[in-house]
Structure 1
Amino acid sequence: MQHDTLLVEIGTEELPPKALKGLSEAFTSGLTELLKSNDFAFGDVRPFASARRLAVQIKNVAAQQPDKVVEKRGPAVEMAFDADGQPTKAAQGWARGNGIDVKDAERLVTDKGEWLLYKAEQKGQSLAAVLPGLVAQALKQLPIPKPMRWGSSDAQFIRPVHTLTMLYGDALIAGEVLEIQSGTQLQGHRFHCPEGTSISQADDYEAVLEKAWVIADFAKRRAIVSSKIEALASELGGHVIADDDLVDEVTALVEWPVALSASFNESFLAVPKEPLIVTMKDDQRYFPLHDAEGNLLSKFIFITNIESKDPQQIISGNEKVVRPRLADAQFFFETDKKVTLESRLSALDNVLFQKDLGSIKAKSDRIAHVAAAIAARLNGKSDVAERAGLLCKADLGSQMVLEFPETQGVMGMHYARNDGEAAGVAEAIYEHYLPRFSGDALPESIEGAAVALADKLDTLVGIFGIGMIPKGDRDPFALRRAAIGLLRIIVEKKLSLDLAELVSIAKDSFGNLLTSASVESDVVDFLLGRFRSWYQEQGISVDVIQAVLARRPTRPLDFDRRVNAVTEFRKLPAADALAAANKRVGNILAKVDGSIPSTVDKALLTESAELELFDALTSASAQAQASLADNDYTAALTALAALQQPVDTFFDNVMVNADDAAVRSNRQALLAQLREQFLQIADISLLNG
């Protein structure tokens, strides 16, 4: 059977840059999965994507599906013939549908009975016959939220489509997709090769386009962008401010990347660097530079999609474009400094946080109160935390933050410094937004952590308190993100805080605004529930997390220690047996009517196996309690792991439900004490062997 390289390319208008990478991955996986499900063998797969094309090149694709035998089972033999042995209507209809007589049918005999059977050889279809439909299906499955129409066409896609190429080796596969006929014409670079180019061999795709001034491989083009930026930054004596998303977006915008540098007036550097960086990166897609100390330089790098004979014209044009944006930032900064953060608080009374929970000013007052209480528990400066909490949202009314929302918090820090606020207040204002996303930095100061926790608690308790619990994907107040951020701060900074206590403090700050009677337990359960997704991302087994959750420890740092301890315990040889034993003990004790004695009467222990378990439990318990006093759960579980052999021996030789009531209760008490030792840490009966 013939095997050759398959090329499929969709030539379009400029595709959305932030979506290009995802579209390419989805198109590649979709088409290859369809080839696989349609029994076409193939080899290596290579995706291509640029501003004006999506393409896939697949090596060693089979020219035809393999022939195969299709078995079509008919009615059971007992239902296929009547008492006289004549075919029933059911059998005749089935045979007619398969183009045979009933007498020609084979028999399928199984242990469940005998059926009529028809085996038909199905000829494999050619790739040329199937491919247009597969391409259309792959394109239809792409994640396109709002497809568009163009011209008089009824076809829909994310952008207008101009060309379609389906090439198998040197043979063009005819067909129509999105009302475009397959051909050998490819779009070249919009400016360097506007006439386009043609292709005659699928293997030549990358080389043909490169001659047409297009680097079609996204990864290769991205590497070129990165290397050119780094090289030019080095020449300029600076370092690029890392931003992988920006590199991806610029890579998606250009097909022939050329790096150039430009500069702006140094007077703009008197403005805090954050809004300058935002306007350069987000508005213009420039790459700002900083020096070895992290100071912003008055130079930047940009990627252009054209190799100009007069690059200075392009440089001057970009300098001209960015200048008014930087001037705006400078104006906003100088204007904002004319009033203090504190004077902006009254305006926050007119900014709504949530209609049932009041204004941003009311939220700031609550944050200040809760932050002071948290800082006091952490031996921090409660007055600094309280002041930072009060002012942490004040920059929301500044012109700078209204124009550049990404700078909220950081501008509050700069304005607080300008106002001469006490040491630590400015930093805590900035830190209270941390962490902003997964993997982001945490507050460094105790006071910053206190304000960050207070802010997140206020949102969680407030929204839960009015019954707006997140459901499914709906989470308009980003409560899940707030919960994970709160847990990260407490665990990773090793803060000795109790969720139940924190939630209670936050609830009290709302007065009588909250309507849910169960808000405290609901929020604590929600927070504890976030541990599951957090630990799963770290590779922790779900049953380990469930074993700890079953005990509902409300101190996150304590929860983390237990999870780590149970994870280590699972590696021990005794773990599976003890988990099974705990499950068995739990089942036995659940069936006990009445109370179980709180102590074990050694005089009633007559069997050697139960005496051995009692002695081993006494010794292991003493070691475990000493370790628990130091919060060393790992050592405690290691000590309890020594109980495996005496526990196994006990169950092999001792009947718990003895006829003598006193002996029976005593043995139940022994097992209850065994179970309680483990339950001080986790419910290991939930561990899977």
Structure 2
Amino acid sequence: MSAKDFLFELGTEELPPKALQSLSAALVNGIREGLEGLLGKEQLANTGFKGYAAPRRLAVLATDLPTEVPESRTLVSGPPAKIAFDADGNPSKALIGFARKCGAEVDQLSEVNGKYSFEQVNPAQPVAGLLADIVTGVLEKLPIPKRMRWGASRAEFVRPVKWVVMLFGDEVIPCEIMSHQSGRHTRGHRFHYNEQIELFAGREYAETLKEKGKVLADFSERQELIRSQLLAEAERIGGKVVIDEGLLEEVTALNEWPVALTGRFEERFLDVPSQALISSMADHQKYFHLLDANDKLLPYFITIANIESKDPQQVIEGNEKVIRPRLADAAFFFETDKKHTLESRTEALKKVVFQKDLGTVYDKSARISGLAGLIAEQIGGDADHASRAGLLCKADLVSDMVLEFPELQGLMGYHYALNDSEPEEVALAQNEHYMPRFHGDELPQTKTGIAVAIADRLDTLVGLFGINQPPTGSKDPFALRRATLGALRIIVERGLELDLRTLLQAAADQYSALPAQDSVVNDVLEFMLERFRAWYEERGISVDNYIAVHALKPTKPLDFDRRVRAVSHFRTLPESASLAAANKRVSNILSKLEGEIATDIDQSLLGDGAEATLANVVAELESELAPAFAKGDYQFALEALAKLQGPVDSFFDDVMVMADDEKVRDNRLALLTKLRNLFLGVADISLIAG
């Protein structure tokens, strides 16, 4: 079958940089899926798909695309053979109607698997005539939150469309897309070559734009070019450039012909906290900052220009002129903010609402303060420092610097606390209590920071659940799921022996009256323990390991984690499957009984052999494992319990549990209860798969 290259390009005004990659991926995937639906995956085995994305264009190149949809045959089933003809051998009305529906005569039908059927032939057809409909359908489904119209056109897209290229081989596919007639003319760089460029072959698209139009259409090629230019500029001035991948992607989406240029700012601005300068340069100007050998900020920046200037120094000076007032503002905010202590700013928090039913940010800070002091005592920290840090931890929110650069909250609190001569740990906690800010972020290091971080999250959880506003579905406006995972990470990864129920009760007691006051502790506790499921799934730990531990409802996250990891290890032992099955069998037997089962065993009622052996081993393990359970050494406990496999298997092979003699039966049930309780010291092993 013959094949040609298909090129589609949509020329637009500048596309939203942060959406460029997702739009390009959706366009490529949509066209691929459309063609797969038309031709089938097998027909596209030799077809390659390549997406191009630049500020003013989205394009897809499909190489070696078959030129026609091959002939196909479809078997259409009709009435059953037993009713197809009457007693005289004449075709029934059902058969005649079916033939008419298929556009065939009765004698063209055949019996297949007890039914009369018709083989419908779908003739081959050219692909070219179907491409416009596929592209149009894909464009309508692109992930565009808000579409716009332009001029008198009724077409809608994320930005005004300026031209459309549709080439199949060297021929234009005539059609209208987004109110534009398709053609073979693209356009070059807005400044370097703002003219039409005629295209004759899809495979020459990227190279033609690059050589003639001064446009790098390939996103990845532009990105790597920018990266190499950044590194080269940094080496030239003897610094290290910090390449934030998010900023790199955004800058790549903003430039068609990137050129890296290095500018400089006044060294006096280095007196301002470096992160404030970095935020100003990156967020507002899309500049990359540089560090010296000691990771200190250098008075340089690298900007990516979308033009290869004949006078680059003029471009550099222009950027220096733009960044100067930005940095001057940051310096002004910093110096002005230092004239007021964090403590004095807490008064302003009384006018900032945290949540209408939960009071102000000041109220929240007071609650954090009380809870943080309690947590600090339990983890061996300084309760006074934690209480002080909690009271001040939101004060920088009303500073001029944070109002201008919200992403600096916490960090500026740290600098202002140092300026106020607060203790080092109190200052560090101003920033640390926001950690982890995102998935995989670093955790607080100091005990004061840890205490305030946990207190802040638990207060939010209890407050929102207490007014009956838990997360629902995908809606989580206060990021309670993230707050929960953050608190769990801190407790587990910092090895803290904290009891969630105790802390949640303390958090709830700080509220005077919550609508769900009576149930809030249990509700939040269950919500937090349920978050462990996603935690372990992400780490590749089987979910039934979590379920086996969750059945016991341990309220200490560190203890919960130790149990899950012990169960995970236990399942690697050869005895685990048999013991899990035995636990399930014991659980089923005991669950059918009414009332409490005694655990005292009468040795005189034990039979010889398997029953006595199991009782002896259980008694030995009860004594041996008591210290292991006490100190949470669950892996050792389960390894020791693995030796029960032989005695347990023998017991069930040789002993009738539900004996006719009531005393013997009760004695055996007591033995099984002791056996089960040993495993329940770690988890409900009956819930894990064999």
TM-score between the two structures when normalised by the length of structure 2: 0.95
Distance 1:509 1:79, change over 3 A: farther
Contact map agreement 1:169 1:203 (CA 8 A) in 2: no
Q: Deviations over 1:318-342 (max 9, x none)?
A: 1111111111111111111111111
Distance 1:604 1:69, change over 3 A: farther
Residue number among 46, 50, 55 corresponding to 2:54 in the alignment: 50
The residue aligned with 1:264 is: 265
The residue aligned with 2:512 is: 511
The residue aligned with 1:599 is: 600
Q: Which amino acid aligns with 1:61?
A: L
Q: Which moved more, 1:453-462 or 1:155-164?
A: 155-164
The 1-side partners of 2:206 and 2:344 are apart by: 61
Contact map agreement 1:607 1:654 (CA 8 A) in 2: no
Contact map agreement 1:528 1:549 (CA 8 A) in 2: yes
The residue aligned with 1:59 is: 63
In structure 2, runs of 5+ residues without a counterpart are none
Distance 1:615 1:136, change over 3 A: farther
The residue aligned with 1:41 is: 44
The residue aligned with 1:492 is: 493
Measure how far apart 1:79 and its partner are.
5.0
Listed as ranges, the matches of 1:630-645 within 5 Å are: 630-645=631-646
Q: Which amino acid aligns with 2:44?
A: A
Q: Deviations over 1:226-258 (max 9, x none)?
A: 111112112222222341100000001011110
Distance 1:119 1:582, change over 3 A: farther
Distance 1:97 1:493, change over 3 A: same
The 1-side partners of 2:127 and 2:621 are apart by: 70
The residue aligned with 2:226 is: 225
Q: Which amino acid aligns with 2:120?
A: A
Contact map agreement 1:462 1:514 (CA 8 A) in 2: no
Q: Percent identity?
A: 52
Residue number among 98, 101, 104 corresponding to 2:105 in the alignment: 101
Q: Deviations over 1:483-511 (max 9, x none)?
A: 11111111111111111111111111112
Secondary structure of the structure 2 residue equivalent to 1:345:
helix
Listed as ranges, the matches of 1:577-656 within 5 Å are: 577-606=578-607, 608-656=609-657
Q: Deviations over 1:351-381 (max 9, x none)?
A: 1111111111111111111111100111111
Listed as ranges, the matches of 1:402-551 within 5 Å are: 402-513=403-514, 515-551=516-552
Q: Deviations over 1:556-608 (max 9, x none)?
A: 11111112112222222222232222222222221123432213334333263
Q: Which amino acid aligns with 1:17?
A: P
Listed as ranges, the matches of 1:564-579 within 5 Å are: 564-579=565-580
Measure how far apart 1:88 and its partner are.
4.4
The 1-side partners of 2:257 and 2:368 are apart by: 51
TM-score between the two structures when normalised by the length of structure 1: 0.95
Distance 1:173 1:600, change over 3 A: farther
The 1-side partners of 2:380 and 2:368 are apart by: 18
The 2-side partners of 1:126 and 1:289 are apart by: 57
The 2-side partners of 1:662 and 1:100 are apart by: 83
The residue aligned with 2:177 is: 177
Listed as ranges, the matches of 1:92-491 within 5 Å are: 92-109=96-113, 114-211=114-211, 212-491=213-492
Listed as ranges, the matches of 1:2-17 within 5 Å are: 2-17=2-17
Q: Which amino acid aligns with 1:96?
A: R
Secondary structure of the structure 1 residue equivalent to 2:190:
coil
The 2-side partners of 1:200 and 1:191 are apart by: 24
The 1-side partners of 2:594 and 2:515 are apart by: 42
Q: Which amino acid aligns with 1:342?
A: E
Contact map agreement 2:599 2:671 (CA 8 A) in 1: no
Q: Which amino acid aligns with 2:635?
A: T
Q: Which amino acid aligns with 2:378?
A: R
The 2-side partners of 1:8 and 1:603 are apart by: 88
Secondary structure of the structure 2 residue equivalent to 1:5:
strand
The residue aligned with 1:657 is: 658
Q: Which moved more, 1:567-576 or 1:193-202?
A: 567-576
Measure how far apart 1:82 and its partner are.
5.4
Measure how far apart 1:151 and its partner are.
1.8
The residue aligned with 2:81 is: 77
The 2-side partners of 1:605 and 1:62 are apart by: 80
Distance 1:226 1:78, change over 3 A: same
Secondary structure of the structure 2 residue equivalent to 1:344:
helix
Q: Which moved more, 1:656-665 or 1:181-190?
A: 656-665
Secondary structure of the structure 1 residue equivalent to 2:422:
coil
Distance 1:675 1:8, change over 3 A: farther
Measure how far apart 1:346 and its partner are.
1.1
The residue aligned with 1:674 is: 675
Distance 1:116 1:160, change over 3 A: same
In structure 1, runs of 5+ residues without a counterpart are none
The 1-side partners of 2:195 and 2:20 are apart by: 24
Secondary structure of the structure 1 residue equivalent to 2:62:
strand
The 2-side partners of 1:508 and 1:143 are apart by: 46
Q: Which moved more, 1:39-48 or 1:227-236?
A: 39-48
- Total equivalences in the alignment: 685
Measure how far apart 1:80 and its partner are.
4.5
The 1-side partners of 2:598 and 2:85 are apart by: 72
The 2-side partners of 1:192 and 1:477 are apart by: 48
Measure how far apart 1:303 and its partner are.
0.4
